[in-house]
Structure 1
């Protein structure tokens, strides 16, 4: 008879369960994240996600925003539910379930563990309701992700009295988008520049950017190009927030450890003589180069706006950039 092999995620879940039931992990203590599980047990992130989903179903752990997954407080003397049968959470019931609660729970999971950890089953376990209950309000994960994105894009609003000048408004729009992506690193993972999400709250940010340019005489296509450029700048940097976390989980190396591991190869390239400027720049940084995404965003925003200024001024004054005063811009069309 062939030996029955237990799926890896169930084996790992059993080990973490034993830590909880044995008292090594107490209520409120953090449990290994998906990335830590992937690194410690040498499994894929998808497997690690199944581990935490199974433990959430049993009511042993819960996701807390800005904290991660922690050991859940006991719900009384009732025994732990068997795998696959979620225990009712305190105050949670199908009668109290709403779309807003489902979306909020999904956002909390994504913030704590990444977008890959979000599932309809996991959300049900998080809320302590029957597995199929969320489907009465949300058709599936794809629909849920759209609702999550729309919710978080609506977390920050713009002032009713906007700052003067297109540049100040544009900068505020960029910093607002960056703050949202910083708060929810998974946000940059769910869409591409060429396929924007049709979300009302995302359009709020587009409306702010386009309104900043309105009245300056720019062609409609140029206004949209500038708006897309701004969004692309924020998105292009923000996408690396979650990717770095995924890379750390996959390799088991922090960003600093990975950089140190590449030092011999980079040193050899610099010493080859084929890249003299690169070698000189590296030699000028004896302590190395620290890449901080927040700094990079702030550093790049100024030259981006500087580069757009002549374009806007050209449309306003009717002159080509660099042309002498009094020289009109040729009409379009």
Structure 2
């Protein structure tokens, strides 16, 4: 799923790079509470980027709670609370301090990057990825938003650290299958279990922009070890890995949607379907949907993600088996099917 070395990471998008630079100015105190930050026009001029890119820069900083738009003034730095060199903000409700210097230090005293990441994971697990923001995380930890930037440079890096942490939970079985199909299946089920525990994770994983996680990479290495002995072509190894891991992720993206639906409606997917049985019957009763009629008649039919995952995984491995078992030792085939 990517390389573990940070140095191998691709250069950040221009808007993220500019946002990081402005964020640094805010955290360092160069830009103080209430001061205007560069406008979109100034960003386009100073950094030589398009207006759309400049707009994204300001959007990132707003989402992180670092700036706010003031009608007739522009975008200004949000009051940062109790960071050194900045006055604490007062609340509108009762004029009390939003956080004293002493309180901020107390909150920071036990703060570590690991604690920040684990707290973020806990929020995402319980409330979904949409509920996780730098501001929400800071509130949970009892510190100001900008204190978090001492531990993580931004939300993108935070999500990467979260993903790496949860993949690090995977314990590779001591008696691992040594055969190629058995190892692929075991690894796929380990991945499914991680996605099951952390429904937000599937959307954080990408195969076109690989997740730079050493723990995820270790799992992929373990999965592909028996295959690597038989297939030497790098492209073949990549495609097999992505086919299996991509299948698991493809089913797992539904986990967060289901979790969100249950949180919102308070009803499981099974109960939701039961409540719509009459509507389905009304649609299929005219005889034009014989397949659905046969399915609806099976009251004992398992219609859940675990069952669908297991069925699809078995069929995928059935399809890969002739390739894995039919190649001579140390040979592979390229994308065109020719021997390499």
TM-score (norm 2): 0.62
Q: Secondary structure in 2 aligned to 1:215?
A: helix
Does the Cα contact within 8 Å between 2:199 and 2:259 map onto a contact in 1?
A: no
Deviation (angstroms), 1:249: 4.3
In the alignment, what sits opposite 1:13?
Answer: none
Does the Cα contact within 8 Å between 1:177 and 1:234 map onto a contact in 2?
A: yes
Q: Secondary structure in 2 aligned to 1:158?
A: coil
Instruction: Give per-residue Cα distances to partners, 1:275-322, cap 9 Å, x unaligned.
Output: 223323323x1x364422223323333332222111111113799xxx
Instruction: Give per-residue Cα distances to partners, 1:225-279, cap 9 Å, x unaligned.
Output: 1111111221122111110122334556542343134323321332222222332
Measured on the aligned residues, the alpha-carbon RMSD in Å equals: 3.3
Question: CA 1:209–1:83 in structure 2 vs 1: closer, same or farther (change >3 Å)?
Answer: farther
Q: Tell me how far apart the structure 2 counterparts of residues 166 and 129 of structure 1 sit (CA, whole Å).
A: 49
Question: CA 1:82–1:194 in structure 2 vs 1: closer, same or farther (change >3 Å)?
Answer: farther
Deviation (angstroms), 1:174: 0.9
In the alignment, what sits opposite 1:227?
Answer: 241
Structure 1 unpaired stretches of 5+: 1-79, 320-329
- Choose from 268, 271, 275 the match for 2:285: 271
Does the Cα contact within 8 Å between 1:94 and 1:130 map onto a contact in 2?
A: no
Q: Tell me how far apart the structure 1 counterparts of residues 186 and 168 of structure 2 sit (CA, whole Å).
A: 15
Q: Secondary structure in 1 aligned to 2:236?
A: helix
Q: Tell me how far apart the structure 2 counterparts of residues 87 and 264 of structure 1 sit (CA, whole Å).
A: 61
Equivalent pairs counted in the alignment come to: 243
Q: How does 1:208-227 map to 2 (within 5 A)?
A: 208-217=222-231, 219-227=233-241
Question: CA 1:160–1:265 in structure 2 vs 1: closer, same or farther (change >3 Å)?
Answer: closer
1:163 pairs with 2:177? yes
Deviation (angstroms), 1:160: 6.8
Does the Cα contact within 8 Å between 1:150 and 1:201 map onto a contact in 2?
A: yes
Q: Tell me how far apart the structure 2 counterparts of residues 86 and 223 of structure 1 sit (CA, whole Å).
A: 56
- Choose from 248, 272, 291 the match for 2:303: 291
- Choose from 270, 281, 287 the match for 2:295: 281
Question: CA 1:252–1:184 in structure 2 vs 1: closer, same or farther (change >3 Å)?
Answer: closer
Does the Cα contact within 8 Å between 1:218 and 1:312 map onto a contact in 2?
A: no
Q: Tell me how far apart the structure 1 counterparts of residues 174 and 302 of structure 2 sit (CA, whole Å).
A: 39
Q: Tell me how far apart the structure 1 counterparts of residues 255 and 295 of structure 2 sit (CA, whole Å).
A: 26
TM-score (norm 1): 0.63
Q: Tell me how far apart the structure 2 counterparts of residues 318 and 202 of structure 1 sit (CA, whole Å).
A: 26
Deviation (angstroms), 1:182: 1.1
* More relative contact order, 1 or 2 (CA 8 Å, 6+ apart): 2
Does the Cα contact within 8 Å between 2:192 and 2:248 map onto a contact in 1?
A: yes
1:93 pairs with 2:107? yes
Does the Cα contact within 8 Å between 2:117 and 2:162 map onto a contact in 1?
A: yes
Instruction: Give per-residue Cα distances to partners, 1:19-64, cap 9 Å, x unaligned.
Output: xxxxxxxxxxxxxxxxxxxxxxxxxxxxxxxxxxxxxxxxxxxxxx
